[in-house]
Amino acid sequence: LSPSSAASDVYKRQEEAIREYLAGNPQIKFISARSLVENALDVKAFSGNISLGRKVSYYMNNMGGWNKTIKKINGVATRGYERG
Q: What is the pTM of this model?
A: 0.81
Half-sphere exposure of 56 (CA within 13 A, CB side): 25
Secondary structure (3-state) at 82 = strand
Side chain identity at 68, as an amino acid letter? K
pLDDT tier, 6 (very low <50, low <70, confident <90, very high otherwise): confident
| 37: number of Cβ within 10 Å | 22
| 60: number of Cβ within 10 Å | 21
Indicate the helix (H) or strand (E) that contains 8. helix 3-24
Render pLDDT for 65-74 as a digit per residue (tens, 0 to 9): 999 999 999 9
